[in-house]
């Protein structure tokens, strides 16, 4: 960890990216995927739309163009096939409004540069997320804007060997705002309520929750990395009822992206939001002040906490719920301190 220099790390990233993407695409383009994936990566280093759909039927139709030209043809044709499906509406969404194709091809490609180049996220312990079946990832929440949730989604999506999709639970404010709610639903997020969480977990999805909520994301800079109260611990009883393991997750680096030195309660009440952040740059520099600081992030997934051993009625036992909540909270807090000690600097 101590000698995690930037350049070898980026090098490593592009390689893992190249080998992970064909894996995710396995469902769509069976044999061609790995060939296309490597060709695309070698042909265009740093090109971000490398994840256009590749379900090209006549994939071997143009051997003349060589590996590079063939890769391009296929990519363009794949892009057009994608465009065609989009404009004619021939794609599927699930009952939560999750649009897997759009998420994989567009939304993730837009977030990936931020994830790889800006915050240089390092992921540890990805193997703690089970390859199949439901799991509840419980994470700390910070950073004024919920960028940590989005980065967590990219981290699971790009690093997990089974290419699992994280379904985040978001606050109701997200679903009241225009545009934001549309994108959130399409990216697979849903309202943080026990009904939705349980429905997703029973379907065998990986669900991400940040139980600190607004208390965590909107806390002042002085209280960084101090976990707030974990709601009422509803997430534990949901995991228990669905019989899925809880994976604690610690995110380091998100606290410093917007150092919140003040909170204008009047403006917050006026705008109907839970807090109105004042950072050294934010209202003063206008939109420029809303650019997050380029901190270096680490996301660590901890050992899963099994809920299988408890009887069904245990979900009704408040004492047990509080104990389990504290156990999860302490594990996240402990890992946070450990990661902070290991960190060399906020930005590197």
Which parts of 299-338 interact with another protein (CB under 8 A)? none
3-class DSSP assignment, residue 247: strand
Decide the pairing of beta strands 135-139 and 190-191.
unpaired
CB of 319 to another protein, least distance (A): 28
DSSP H helical segments within 160-281, as ranges? Answer: 172-176, 180-186, 194-202, 214-217, 234-242, 265-271
Contact 51, 163 (CB under 8 A): no
Q: Among 153, 190, 298, 307, indicate the residue that binds another protein (CB under 8 A).
A: 190
The tokens 């901190």 sit on which residue? 295
Closest CB 339 distance from another protein, rounded Å = 34
Query: Which one of 101, 126, 199, 293 is in contact with another protein (CB under 8 A)?
Result: 199
Shortest separation between residue 77's beta carbon and another protein, angstroms: 5
Q: Nearer to another protein by C-beta: 60 or 162?
A: 60
Q: How far apart are CA 112 and CA 121, in angstroms?
A: 10
273 binding another protein? (CB under 8 A): no
Considering only 11, 12, 127, 182, the residue that binds another protein (CB under 8 A) is: 182
Question: For residue 329, what are the CA distances in angstroms to 221, 225, 248, 281, 335?
Answer: 20, 12, 8, 32, 10
Q: Which span sits near another protein by CB under 8 A: 86-94, 138-146, 265-273, 327-335?
A: 86-94
Q: Contact with another protein (CB under 8 A): which of 76, 261, 270, 271? A: 76
Q: Is 63 in the site for another protein (CB under 8 A)?
A: no
**Which listed residue (2, 7, 63, 88) binds another protein by CB under 8 A?**
88
State the pairing for strand pair 277-278/262-263: antiparallel
Tell me if 7 contacts another protein by CB under 8 A. no
User: Any contact of residue 42 with another protein (CB under 8 A)?
Assistant: no
> How many residues in the shown chain lie near another protein by CB under 8 A?
52
Binding residue for another protein, selected from 21, 24, 52, 164, defined by CB under 8 A: 52
Does 94 engage in binding with another protein (CB under 8 A)?
yes
Q: Would you count residue 92 as binding another protein (CB under 8 A)? A: yes
Residues numbered 99 to 138 that lie near another protein (CB under 8 A) are: 99
DSSP annotation of 136: E
Residue 213 found at the interface with another protein (CB under 8 A): no
Q: Do 170 and 132 touch, CB atoms closer than 8 A?
A: no
> Minimum distance from CB of 97 to another protein (Å)?
5
CA atoms of 137 and 103, how far apart (whole Å): 20
Helix, strand or coil, per DSSP, at residue 280: coil
What is the rounded distance in angstroms from the CA atom of residue 300 to the CA atom of residue 342?
A: 13
Of residues 299, 335, 138, 303, the one with CA closest to residue 233: 138
Of 69, 130, 213, 234, the one binding another protein (CB under 8 A) is 69
Cα distance between residue 72 and residue 93, in whole Å? 29
Which CB sits closer to another protein, 72 or 322? Answer: 72
**Quick one: which of 6, 16, 27, 49 contacts another protein (CB under 8 A)?**
49
Give long-range contacts, CB 8 A cutoff, 24+ apart: 192-197.
193/169, 194/234, 194/237, 194/238, 196/96, 196/169, 197/136, 197/169, 197/235, 197/238, 197/242
61 is a site residue for another protein (CB under 8 A): yes
Binding site for another protein (CB under 8 A): 43-44, 47, 49, 52, 58, 61-62, 64-66, 68-69, 72-73, 76-77, 79-84, 87-97, 99, 172, 175-182, 185-186, 190-191, 193, 195-196, 199
């Amino acid at each position: 960890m101590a000698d995690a220099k930037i350049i070898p790390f980026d090098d490593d990233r592009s390689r893992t990216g190249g080998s992970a993407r064909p894996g995710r695409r396995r469902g769509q383009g069976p044999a061609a995927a790995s060939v296309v994936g490597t060709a695309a990566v070698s042909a265009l280093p740093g090109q971000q739309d490398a994840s256009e759909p590749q379900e090209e039927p006549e994939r071997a139709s143009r051997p003349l163009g060589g590996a590079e030209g063939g890769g391009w043809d296929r990519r363009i044709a794949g892009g057009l096939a994608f465009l065609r499906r989009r404009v004619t509406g021939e794609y599927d969404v699930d009952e939560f409004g999750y649009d897997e194709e759009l998420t994989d091809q567009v939304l993730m490609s837009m977030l990936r540069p931020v994830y790889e180049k800006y915050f240089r996220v390092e992921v540890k312990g990805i193997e703690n997320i089970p390859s199949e079946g439901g799991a509840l990832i419980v994470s700390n929440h910070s950073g004024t804007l919920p960028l940590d949730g989005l980065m967590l989604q990219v981290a699971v999506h790009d690093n997990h060997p089974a290419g699992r999709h994280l379904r985040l639970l978001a606050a109701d404010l997200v679903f009241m705002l225009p545009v934001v709610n549309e994108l959130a639903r399409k990216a697979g997020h849903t309202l943080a309520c026990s009904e939705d969480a349980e429905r997703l977990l029973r379907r065998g999805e990986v669900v991400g929750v940040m139980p600190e909520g607004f208390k965590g994301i909107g806390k002042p800079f002085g209280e960084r990395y101090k976990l707030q109260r974990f709601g009422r611990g509803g997430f534990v009883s949901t995991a228990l009822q669905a019989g899925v393991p809880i994976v604690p997750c610690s995110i380091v680096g998100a606290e410093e992206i917007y150092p919140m030195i003040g909170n204008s309660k009047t403006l917050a009440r006026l705008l109907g939001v839970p807090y109105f952040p004042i950072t050294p740059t934010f209202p003063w520099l206008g939109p420029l002040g809303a650019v997050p600081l380029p901190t270096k992030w680490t996301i660590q997934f901890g050992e899963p906490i099994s809920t299988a051993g408890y009887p069904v009625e245990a979900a009704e036992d408040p004492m047990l719920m509080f104990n389990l909540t504290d156990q999860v909270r302490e594990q996240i807090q402990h890992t946070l301190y450990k990661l902070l000690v290991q960190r060399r600097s906020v930005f590197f």
